[in-house]
């Protein structure tokens, strides 16, 4: 009888530790394909961009470029853009 109770306590201890560890590890881990400091090409949409702007072979050298973190100069932007309704990013 004592052995069975000891096994139950051990099993519950392992399960609780596993649950805590799983929760901690899931909160501490993240992945991204885009980093805040990545360089982007962008086109301020005062007119429509070229029709093929989203194609892989599009030449974006005429577009502006800047470090990620775009905004309207409110103090937390890596790249400031003019106040506009649309911006296209590559």
Residue length of the chain:
90
Beta bridge partners of residue 42, listed in sequence order: 64, 89
What are the φ and ψ backbone dihedral angles of 16, each rounded to 5 degrees?
Answer: -65, -45
What are 74-89's pLDDT values in tens digits? 888 899 998 888 999 9
User: Is the entire prediction scored with pTM above 0.85?
Assistant: no
- In which residue ranges of the chain is pLDDT below 70? 1-3, 24-29
Q: Is 4 helix (H, G, I), strand (E, B) or coil?
A: helix
- Map out the domains of the chain as residue ranges: 1-30, 39-54+62-89
């Amino acid at each position: 009888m004592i052995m069975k109770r000891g096994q139950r306590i051990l099993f519950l201890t392992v399960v609780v530790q596993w649950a805590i560890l799983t929760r901690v590890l899931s909160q501490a881990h993240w992945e991204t394909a885009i980093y805040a400091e990545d360089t982007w090409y962008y086109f301020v949409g005062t007119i429509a961009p070229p029709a093929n702007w989203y194609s892989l072979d599009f030449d974006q050298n005429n577009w502006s470029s800047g470090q990620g973190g775009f905004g309207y100069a409110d103090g937390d932007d890596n790249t400031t853009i003019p106040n506009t309704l649309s911006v296209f990013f590559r």
